[in-house]
Each structure stands twice: as structure tokens, then as C-alpha cells.
């Protein structure tokens, strides 16, 4: 054997390789580069260079909880914008969960049957990663033709010039029926006198309650006679038990870290968080504000509210657990509550306060982006997608709830997925209880990020309400000063 192989063999024995191993390696040495073959064999099949895959349009799955033809009213609007003469492709950026995405594909299929020259590519991105993906796309001028936008970042993105204004297109449609949209639904998408997006939903916050807990305590269910004082009393009354068997009366308390909190927790007492609509003053530490927050804190001192961990993370739906008697949730919480609860439940309106009867309302919209190469085709799609027929098909008949058009509500109320108390949701919108005076300016995220941690100390019992609210003012005021321009 050559000297280096001798050395190697000795080294291998030194390391405790068996003689069989040494022989094996020696054989391989004779073959030279066989060590690569050894590695490849361990890894398995040979790889192929990656190729861009061919792209057929996605087909809806054959087994779905939605029937493709149910909810199809058939009366689709005919846009005055002409269909393209030859095939064009538009892409739409969505963020649906996997199950609901099937419905989206069903809609697209029916749409493409009505408009053979428009090919629709639906892009679905997980909710948690949506902003990251489309921020990158925006930077690279690679946005899809249509894009989902939530109220909380709508203003910021509108001002950056990412979208095209829709007023001209709307004016072209004789049957657009602008007044059909609930007033709060349009607020976040208007800027500079123009409309930049069309909402598909706008839902109020409602009081979901656990009927079994009420029954066990012999309490009457919430109804239109309730006010916030009654809510508080009942919440305290329904709180019972200790440790693992504890039942909480109310699911959550207000925090300045929540952009939706003002209409439900402050307005009813004549207090405010930020001045609306400009959001250029912080008003939470006024005497009314302090009084209101202290009023709510009594529920915490009486132990009627569970710990804040529940509020933060989607992973832990506390109400579905059956340990909470009442909770304030947006109407979009209906599908998960329906899917996850093993008890009887229903929806009531958020009760009135001494000074006002309000609840938050919020929603999301679709916009046509500036990168779109086929804005006309995109408009045709949007016109149908967000029409009464479209909203009925997508969100009303499927029980997702709270369509932005009043005309789509009957379909929602009549769908098999709607809860018994769904009428309360509709009345909250139609009777003006739901208000969009929530935090939606570009400064919003920084405001709540600054305020939330301060309030955490109140929750932990380490700070008084007055102290915390003064600190919130000090932290938030410089941020909202930007809006005074």
C-alpha cells in the first residue's frame, strides 16, 4: 500500500473503525472519487435541476364544504367597461385560509365562464406573512392586479401611491349603487377626496355569550334592554369557581394597545382615545377617559376577567373553551366560534352606555394596484366580486358575515351558517351603532405599540390607571403630532 493509505488505515483503526470499515474505505480509495458516490447513495435519488413549473389555472377541490352553485343568485352586473378582445391575465392577492380558498376558486371558475377572455390567477398567502410578501412585491413593482387590504394598513398604503383611484370606474357603472354600502365601511379607503378601494366586509363588534353558563346560573340572556352597567353586574355574577374550574364573566377588558377599543369602552362614557377622524390628539387621560377606564378595571379587581394571554394570540381561543360567559368579538369570529364550541351560544348587541350606544366596526377591501397592466379587466372582476351577487356568493351565503353592501345582508341572515342572533349584527350596522371611529391612520401601529406595554403593567397590577394613562399620553402625543400637519 502507498504510504498515505497506510497512514490513513492506521488513523482509521485509531478512531475505532472496524477492519471491515477500513477495507471498505480502502476499496473506495482505489476507486478515487467514490467518496462522492457514497454520499449520493446516502442521500437517495439523483436530483434534477429545478425548472419553473408549468402554470395551469388552479382548479377548485372536488370535495368542499361549499357547493359551487349554492349562493349564486345569477344576477351579475354587466360592466360598461368592455371585456378585453383577447385573452388577458389578472392576478389577485388574497389571504384566505385553506378551506375558504376553495370558495374563492369556485367564484373565479364561474367568473371565467362568464368572461372567457379574462384568466384569473388567485394568489393565496398565509395571513401572518401577507404584509411581508406584498411589501417586497411593492418594492419590486411586482404587485398583483388586485390586492386585499385591511383597514389597519389601508391609509398608509393608499398614501404611498400603491393603488389607482376608482371614482372614474364607479362613475361609469349605472348600477353600482354606491349608497348600498354601509357608511362605516368606506371610511378607511377614502383619501384626498377619492375612493381607493372597495370594501367587501364591514362588521361590528358584538357580544357573544355562552348560553349554557347563563342557564346554569339562571340568568336571562342579553337583550336590547341591557346597558353597560347591567353587563358589568351580570359579568360579576356569572364569575364563579376557582382554579381550573373557574368561569369568567367577561372575556376581555379595554387596553390602549387595541386600535378598536374606543367605541365600545370609551365613547359610551363620553370619553375618547384619539380625536377622530384626524387622530392628532390623544384624549385618553382626560377626566372622562380616566373615569371610564377605572370603571372597567373594577371587573379585573373582582376577578371577572381572565389573564391577558388569551387576548394576544390566535392560538388560544378562550371563549371556545367554554370558560367565559361573554366576549366582545367582531362578526368575523362567528366561523371559528361555530367550529370550535361545544356549547350553546348566541350573539347580542353590545349594550348602550350612559352617553352613547356604539360599537366598533371594521373590515377589509380590495384595491387595484398601480402595477396592474390590465386595470379594465381588473375592474370588471372587482365590479362583480364586490357586487350584491358577489358578496352574497362569497360572504353572505357562506356565513362569513357582515357584507359591506346592505343588500347582501338578507342572504347572510338566511344562510345555514348564520347564528340565531345574526339579526343583532345587521341592526348594529343599519342602526348606526357600529362606528368606524377606530384607529386607522398610518400612525396607528406606532400608537398601539407604544401604549400597549404601558397598559400591561396595569394588568399586572403594577401601575394605577391614572398613572398609566398619563404615561400613554406622554408616549402617544409625539406620535400623533405628525397628523397635525
Partner 1 sequence: MAITTPTPPKTTKAKLGGMARKEELAFYLFISPWIIGFLLFDAGAILASLAISFTNWSALSTPSFTGGENYTKLINDSLFYKAMGNSLYYGLGSVGLGTIVSFLLALLLNQDVKGMAVFRTIFYLPSVVSGIAVAILWIMILHQDFGLINSFLAFFGIKGPGWLVQPEWAMPSLILMSLWSAGGAMVIYLAGLQSVPIHLYEAAEIDGADTFQKFWNVTVPMMSPVILYNLIVGFIASIQGFVLVYIMTNGGPANATLVYGLYIYRTAFINFQMGYASALAWVLLVVIILITVIQFAVAKYWVYYEGDVKQ
Partner 2 sequence: MSTSSGISHQKSLLGLRNRAIAWKVITYFLLITLSVSFVLPFMWMVSTSLKQSQDVFTYPPSFFPNSFEWQNYIKGWNVLPFDTFLNNSLIVTFSNVIGNLISCSLVAYGFARLKGRGRDILFLLLLATLMIPREVTIIPRFLMFSWFGMTNTLWPLVLPAWFGYAFFIFLLRQFFMGIPLDLDNAARIDGANNWQILTQVIIPLSQPALASVAIFAFIGNWSNLLDPLIYLRSTELYTLALGLNLFRGQNFTQFNLLMAVSIITLIPVLLVFFFSQKLFVQGVSLTGMGGR
The size of the interface with partner 2 (CB under 8 A), counted in residues, is 86
Give me the long-range contacts of 25-34 (CB less than 8 A, separation at least 24).
Answer: 26/1, 29/5
Site membership for partner 1, residue 85 (CB under 8 A): no
Nearer to partner 2, 32 or 116 (CB): 32
* Partner in contact with 407, chosen from partner 2, partner 1, none, beta carbon below 5 to 8 Å by kind: none
Among candidate residues 441, 453, 464, the one with its CA nearest the CA of residue 151: 441
Q: For partner 1, which residue of 288, 445, 467, 483 counts as binding (CB under 8 A)?
A: 445
The least distance separating partner 2 from the CB of residue 108, rounded to whole angstroms, comes to: 12
- Find the angle CA(188)-CA(191)-CA(359) to the nearest 5 degrees: 25
Q: For partner 1, which residue of 138, 234, 299, 472 counts as binding (CB under 8 A)?
A: 138
Q: Concatenated DSSP letters for 50-113?
A: --PPP-PPPPPPSS-SS-TTTT--------SSPPPSS-EEEEEEE---HHHHHHHHHHHHHHHH
What residues numbered 263-322 form the site for partner 2, per CB under 8 A?
314-317, 320-322
Site membership for partner 2, residue 370 (CB under 8 A): no
Nearer to partner 1, 163 or 409 (CB): 163
The least distance separating partner 1 from the CB of residue 147, rounded to whole angstroms, comes to: 12
Contact 51, 115 (CB under 8 A): no
H or E, element range at 330? strand 324-330
Site membership for partner 2, residue 344 (CB under 8 A): no
The least distance separating partner 1 from the CB of residue 396, rounded to whole angstroms, comes to: 31
* Partner in contact with 96, chosen from partner 1, partner 2, none, beta carbon below 5 to 8 Å by kind: partner 2
Q: For partner 1, which residue of 70, 132, 233, 344 counts as binding (CB under 8 A)?
A: 132
The least distance separating partner 2 from the CB of residue 230, rounded to whole angstroms, comes to: 28
The least distance separating partner 1 from the CB of residue 76, rounded to whole angstroms, comes to: 33
Q: Concatenated DSSP letters for 394-463?
A: IIITTT---BSBGGGHHHHHHSTTS-TTHHHHHHHHHTT-EE--S--STTHHHHHHHHHHHHHHHHTTSS
Query: How far apart are alpha carbons 458 and 157 in whole angstroms?
Result: 34
Nearer to partner 1, 131 or 237 (CB): 131
Instruction: Give backbone dihedrals phi and psi of 339, rounded to 5 degrees, phi first.
Output: -75, -30
The size of the interface with partner 1 (CB under 8 A), counted in residues, is 39
What residues numbered 7-66 form the site for partner 2, per CB under 8 A?
7-8, 11-12, 15-18, 21, 25, 28-29, 32-33, 35-36, 39-40, 42-45, 47-56, 58, 61-64
The least distance separating partner 2 from the CB of residue 474, rounded to whole angstroms, comes to: 30
Cα distances (angstroms) measured from residue 356 to each of 176, 228, 265: 33, 11, 10
Q: Which residues contact 213 (CB under 8 A, 6 or more apart)?
A: 238, 247, 322, 325, 343
What residues numbered 249-268 form the site for partner 2, per CB under 8 A?
none
* Partner in contact with 122, chosen from partner 1, partner 2, none, beta carbon below 5 to 8 Å by kind: partner 2
Number of other CB atoms surrounding residue 340 within 10 Å: 12
Site membership for partner 1, residue 449 (CB under 8 A): yes
The least distance separating partner 2 from the CB of residue 4, rounded to whole angstroms, comes to: 4
Choose the stretch contacting partner 2; rule: CB under 8 A; options: 118-126, 189-197, 232-240, 388-396.
118-126
Site membership for partner 2, residue 102 (CB under 8 A): yes
| CA of residue 317 relative to chain centroid, distance | 15
- Verify cis geometry, omega within 30 degrees of 0, for the bond prior to 277: yes
> What is the DSSP pairing of strand 248-250 with strand 359-368?
unpaired
Q: How far apart are the first and last CA of the chain?
A: 85
Q: What is the CA radius of gyration of the chain?
A: 29
Which residues of this protein are in contact with partner 1, per CB under 8 A?
Answer: 14-16, 131-132, 135-136, 138-139, 153, 156-157, 160-162, 243-244, 246, 306-309, 312-313, 315-316, 321, 323, 442, 445-446, 449, 452-454, 456-457, 459-460
Amino acid at each position: 500500500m502507498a504510504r498515505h493509505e497506510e497512514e490513513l488505515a492506521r488513523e482509521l483503526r485509531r478512531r475505532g473503525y472496524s477492519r471491515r470499515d477500513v477495507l471498505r474505505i480502502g476499496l473506495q480509495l482505489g476507486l478515487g472519487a467514490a467518496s462522492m458516490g457514497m454520499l449520493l447513495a446516502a442521500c437517495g435519488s439523483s436530483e434534477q435541476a429545478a425548472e419553473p413549473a408549468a402554470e395551469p389555472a388552479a382548479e377548485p377541490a372536488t370535495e368542499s364544504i361549499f357547493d359551487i352553485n349554492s349562493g349564486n343568485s345569477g344576477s351579475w352586473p354587466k360592466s360598461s367597461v368592455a371585456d378585453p378582445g383577447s385573452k388577458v391575465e389578472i392576478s389577485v392577492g388574497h389571504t384566505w385560509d385553506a378551506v375558504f380558498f376553495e370558495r374563492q376558486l369556485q367564484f373565479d371558475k364561474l367568473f371565467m365562464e362568464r368572461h372567457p377572455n379574462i384568466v384569473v390567477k388567485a394568489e393565496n398567502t398565509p395571513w401572518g406573512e401577507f404584509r411581508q410578501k406584498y411589501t417586497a412585491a411593492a418594492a419590486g413593482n411586482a404587485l398583483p392586479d388586485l390586492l386585499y387590504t385591511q383597514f389597519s394598513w389601508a391609509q398608509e398604503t393608499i398614501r404611498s401611491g400603491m393603488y389607482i383611484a376608482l371614482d372614474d370606474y364607479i362613475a361609469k357603472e349605472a348600477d353600482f349603487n354606491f349608497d348600498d354600502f354601509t357608511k362605516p365601511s368606506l371610511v378607511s379607503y377614502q383619501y384626498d377626496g377619492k375612493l381607493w378601494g372597495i370594501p367587501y366586509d364591514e362588521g361590528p363588534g358584538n357580544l357573544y355569550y355562552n348560553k349554557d353558563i347563563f342557564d346554569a346560573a339562571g340568568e336571562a340572556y342579553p337583550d336590547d334592554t341591557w346597558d353597560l352597567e347591567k353587563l358589568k353586574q351580570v359579568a360579576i355574577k356569572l364569575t364563579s369557581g376557582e382554579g381550573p374550574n373557574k368561569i369568567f364573566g367577561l372575556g376581555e377588558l379595554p387596553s390602549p394597545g387595541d386600535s378598536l377599543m374606543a367605541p365600545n369602552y370609551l365613547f359610551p362614557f363620553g370619553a375618547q382615545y384619539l380625536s377622530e377622524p384626524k387622530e392628532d390628539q390623544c384624549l385618553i387621560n382626560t377626566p372622562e377617559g380616566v373615569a371610564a377606564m377605572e370603571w372597567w378595571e373594577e371587573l379585573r379587581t373582582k376577578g371577572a376577567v381572565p389573564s391577558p394571554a388569551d387576548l394576544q394570540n390566535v392560538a388560544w381561543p378562550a371563549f371556545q373553551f367554554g370558560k367565559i360567559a361573554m366576549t366582545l368579538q367582531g362578526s368575523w369570529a362567528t366561523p371559528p366560534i361555530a367550529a370550535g364550541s361545544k356549547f350553546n351560544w348566541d350573539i347580542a348587541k353590545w349594550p348602550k352606555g350612559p352617553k352613547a350606544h356604539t360599537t366598533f366596526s371594521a373590515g377589509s377591501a380590495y384595491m387595484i394596484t398601480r402595477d396592474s397592466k390590465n386595470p379594465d379587466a381588473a375592474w370588471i372582476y372587482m365590479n362583480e366580486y364586490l357586487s350584491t351577487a358577489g358578496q352574497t356568493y362569497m360572504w353572505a351565503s357562506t356565513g362569513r358575515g357582515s357584507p359591506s353592501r346592505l343588500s347582501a345582508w338578507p342572504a347572510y341572515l338566511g344562510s345555514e351558517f348564520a347564528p340565531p342572533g345574526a339579526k343583532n349584527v345587521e341592526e348594529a350596522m343599519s342602526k348606526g351603532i357600529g362606528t368606524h371611529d377606530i384607529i386607522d391612520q398610518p400612525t396607528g401601529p406606532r400608537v398601539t405599540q407604544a401604549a400597549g406595554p404601558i397598559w400591561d403593567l396595569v394588568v399586572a397590577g403594577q401601575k394605577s390607571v391614572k398613572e398609566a394613562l398619563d404615561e400613554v399620553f406622554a408616549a402617544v402625543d409625539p406620535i400623533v403630532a405628525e397628523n397635525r400637519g
